[in-house]
Structure 1
Amino acid sequence: MAEQRAGRVVSRRSERIQDAVPFRMMFGFRMHSGYAERRLEPGVLDLTFGDPHEMQMPEYVEALRSAAVPEDELWFAYKQSERPAQDAAAASLERVVRLGWTGDDLRMTTGGFGAITVAMKVLADPGDEVVYTLPPWFLYEPLALEAGLAPVKVRAAEPSFDLDLGGIASALTPRTRIVVVNSPNNPTGRIYPPELLLGLAGLLAEASARFGHRIWIVSDEPYNRIVFFGNEFHSPAEFYPHTLVCYSYGKTLLAPGQRLGYIAVPPGLEGRDEVLEAVDMMQIAAGWLFPNAVMQHATPALEKLTLDVAALEAKRDRLVGAMREIGYEVAVPDGTFYLWPRSPLPDDEAFVADLSRRGVFVMPGALFETPGWFRICLTATAETIEAAIPHLRDAFEAARKLRHGGVVEADSGQIP
């Protein structure tokens, strides 16, 4: 063992996490690309992360301010899951996914991160496999590796970016314990239809019987309230009871820095109490992954609030229309606050670099392990989106000329 550790400073697990392509690219993007400094420069148009770009709604601030005033001597004592927070969260979830949820079915977590971390460690042992679809939220792989799990990746069906049920079925092995489903999807904005989720439920039930152990769904649902007109959200939990629902308030309230979420186990599930007890223990063992006292005290008031989905939809429609007029291939997202256009250059990183030179920040598809595309975040102001359109037009035109005889500078990876 000593020989194996010779010359190494950190654990192999740390090295594997750092080597994960999405993690390495995201860390490099935030820390080493100049993004952190340039995003604050006058005139720079930031369309990258789901951060707020306007002052938080006064009702949100007041909810936290009120929750910070102690009502008893234990107001700031150690908190696990506070019952008023659980009840408020369950009532809200029941309005979206009608399965008879109560506060007993939920455990409050430090955002969606905490919920997914706990779900993976409760359901799977080191060496087990977790299957998810590309393009993914870029932190599934690091979270799986941290839990000692083996990521197994299946590409979505293009151009719809629906789940590829055939691909998922082929990826399942006796080591598979978890399939992650993210709907509405980040980054594509796709909401998976009921018939697709029903098909997934059938193939997982068959595979579970064949392998002699249950394959679970971890349903990552932080956008299940951000659904645009004419669309309807359905959770995998409606079709497959062995589903853990993971939710984050950071999206619905556009306050990702205030860590609040939950993990929910469907009522009536056989073994539900055992799963919930394991969740409680894992939250403690993994580093007290319960929200801070103030966030839990504020949850009932926060559940009355939401970001302006109609304003998001208006920004979506404006930008989709403008980009299609320019010539971009871009689908209309069903939900979330993202657009997922095809890059006009096969090298999406080169195209994103050119946009960056023009003062527009977006994310390359390579960060989502899906080269040839890029992601735009609609949480930017309407003014920012309007100002970005001419730059998107100029970058598209530059890419068009490049495809017809231009040359990309190999040393910079940027469009000259």
Structure 2
Amino acid sequence: MFSERIVKSLASGSMIRAMFEQGNALKKLYGPENVYDFALGNPDLEPSMEIIKRMSELASQPDIHKYMPNAGHVDVRQKVAEFMKRKTDVDFEAKHIIMCTGAAAGLTITMNSLLNPGDEVIVIAPFFGEYRAYVTQYGGVIIPVKALPDTFQLDIEAIDQAITAKTKAIIINSPNNPSGAVYSEEDLVRLNSVLLGAEAKYGQPIYVVSDEPYVKVSYDDVVIPEIAAIFDNAIIVNSFSKSLSLPGERIGYVAVNPLIKDSDILVDALIYSNRTLGFVNAPSLFQKLVAEHLDDVVGLDSYKERRDVLYKMLTDIGYECTLPKGAFYLFVKSPIADDGLFCDMALRHNIVVVSGKGFGYPGYFRIAYCVSMQQITGSKEAFKALYEEVMGK
């Protein structure tokens, strides 16, 4: 009766959202102050007062609520292009920028523009689970390649072995959700060499789709390599959900490397996809807003403090994890082999975390620390009791 593809997808669903709903159910039973919900990467920090004030000012400007070109306001696209050029030394122009309703929409229109049925897209596990839907809904085939254990850095040899004549793209997400890993420039340069070799072998380009919502959320003076400066066939997808604490406003952009062959056709395809998939255009007011805050980030010191406190707290208890260099997640090794069972056991202690299976990397669980410090410190005894239960102490 309904779409078989969608009904099948509902059965697998989003593990993150499922745990989020579990958390809400627990809060109704025990009160929100007694539940330690680390499921969703939903920043608890408010946007800056400067941004909130500017929203109000923009809302009353003439023509701000009217249609604009499907790719976005031309002046906004120009500012984003100048920002990208300054960051990467690549000659971006306004025509290479498409404003979109967040990174999810940006990835969706990118896959729609790139893929033919049967085309393969390599993703690096652990990866954001919705990548599966973004790829398969347009006839693509997702090819997970596991990152190196513990460090979660790129396994270049494994990626090389996964490339076939059907490989159309690879999705890069650094800083990574859920591991917080930042891929090294050395590995990215090696990856570029592998992709160039495969392109020569198979006679077709392999596009590097860089999903960058956490690119400004990094710690310890780590340098985030510029994907567009390394890969000629790069398509950058960015969002302001995390950097400006605007996840509900759905605003981001796609930047097409001008060095891509027939980049003008790709840009036209992205604009067409933006319109016909029902997004039409990115929110007008928020386009204007983010154009004034391209270099800004909200709450970085606060996130770092939370990371440090949570990491020490968990490792002191006995949990094992790698200190993340970016994003706002800890990807923790499950004390038992079945991470799904561990997450179910955690619920009995009013702890809500997400199984690594949902990210294509079993044996781990994700904790989102974009929550209050009070929740982090308050969860200590619950995490300790959980650990002692699973370890039989």
Residue 275 of structure 1, CA deviation: 1.8
**Higher alpha-carbon deviation: 114-123 or 43-52:** 43-52
Residue 34 of structure 1, CA deviation: 5.5
Name which one, 1 or 2, has greater alpha-carbon Rg.
1
Letter in 1 for 2:340: E
Find out whether 1:38 has 2:27 as its counterpart. yes
Letter in 1 for 2:4: R
Residue 16 of structure 1, CA deviation: 4.3
Q: Aligned to 2:332, what secondary structure does the other structure show?
A: coil
Q: Kindly tell me: are residues 139 and 28 of structure 1, through their superposed partners in 2, closer, same or farther at Cα, counting changes over 3 Å?
A: same
RMSD of aligned alpha carbons: 2.1
Quote the residue 2:116 is aligned against.
125
Quote the residue 1:313 is aligned against.
304
Q: Using the alignment, how far apart are the partners of 2:295 and 2:196 within structure 1? A: 37
Q: Using the alignment, how far apart are the partners of 1:390 and 1:93 within structure 2? A: 46
Q: Kindly tell me: are residues 198 and 88 of structure 1, through their superposed partners in 2, closer, same or farther at Cα, counting changes over 3 Å?
A: same
Q: Using the alignment, how far apart are the partners of 2:341 and 2:5 within structure 1? A: 31
2:219–2:325 CA contact under 8 A, matched in 1: yes
Quote the residue 1:405 is aligned against.
none
Q: Using the alignment, how far apart are the partners of 2:312 and 2:143 within structure 1? A: 36
Residue 126 of structure 1, CA deviation: 2.0
Quote the residue 2:218 is aligned against.
227
Letter in 1 for 2:5: R
1:312–1:378 CA contact under 8 A, matched in 2: yes
Residue 96 of structure 1, CA deviation: 4.0
Q: Aligned to 1:291, what secondary structure does the other structure show?
A: coil
Quote the residue 1:357 is aligned against.
348
How many aligned residue pairs are there?
A: 390
Structure 1: unaligned runs, 5 residues or longer: 1-8, 403-416
1:109–1:260 CA contact under 8 A, matched in 2: yes
Q: Aligned to 2:248, what secondary structure does the other structure show?
A: coil
Quote the residue 1:278 is aligned against.
269
Q: Using the alignment, how far apart are the partners of 1:207 and 1:17 within structure 2? A: 32
CA displacement, residues 178-212 of structure 1 (integer Å, 9 cap, x when unaligned): 11111111100111111111111111111111112
Letter in 1 for 2:129: F
Quote the residue 2:15 is aligned against.
25
1:181–1:220 CA contact under 8 A, matched in 2: yes
Letter in 2 for 1:225: K
Q: Using the alignment, how far apart are the partners of 1:202 and 1:16 within structure 2? A: 38
Letter in 2 for 1:77: Y
Q: Identity of aligned pairs, percent?
A: 26
Q: Using the alignment, how far apart are the partners of 1:330 and 1:339 within structure 2? A: 7
Q: Using the alignment, how far apart are the partners of 1:314 and 1:220 within structure 2? A: 25
From 171, 176, 182, give the equivalent of 2:167.
176
From 330, 336, 353, give the equivalent of 2:321.
330
Q: Kindly tell me: are residues 322 and 145 of structure 1, through their superposed partners in 2, closer, same or farther at Cα, counting changes over 3 Å?
A: same
Q: Using the alignment, how far apart are the partners of 2:282 and 2:77 within structure 1? A: 12
Q: Using the alignment, how far apart are the partners of 2:367 and 2:17 within structure 1? A: 18
Q: What is the TM-score with the length of structure 1 in the denominator?
A: 0.88
Q: Using the alignment, how far apart are the partners of 1:97 and 1:184 within structure 2? A: 17
Q: Aligned to 2:124, what secondary structure does the other structure show?
A: strand
**Higher alpha-carbon deviation: 331-340 or 295-304:** 295-304
CA displacement, residues 369-397 of structure 1 (integer Å, 9 cap, x when unaligned): 22211111121011111111221122111
Q: Using the alignment, how far apart are the partners of 2:296 and 2:155 within structure 1? A: 35
**Higher alpha-carbon deviation: 286-295 or 306-315:** 286-295
Q: Kindly tell me: are residues 271 and 352 of structure 1, through their superposed partners in 2, closer, same or farther at Cα, counting changes over 3 Å?
A: same
1:216–1:242 CA contact under 8 A, matched in 2: yes
Find out whether 1:76 has 2:66 as its counterpart. yes
1:110–1:289 CA contact under 8 A, matched in 2: no
From 3, 6, 9, give the equivalent of 1:11.
3
Q: Using the alignment, how far apart are the partners of 1:36 and 1:112 within structure 2? A: 29
Letter in 2 for 1:13: R
Letter in 2 for 1:399: V
Q: What is the TM-score with the length of structure 2 in the denominator?
A: 0.93
Within 5 Å, give how 1:250-261 maps onto structure 2.
Answer: 250-261=241-252
Letter in 2 for 1:282: S
From 97, 102, 107, give the equivalent of 2:88.
97
1:344–1:400 CA contact under 8 A, matched in 2: yes
Structure 2: unaligned runs, 5 residues or longer: none
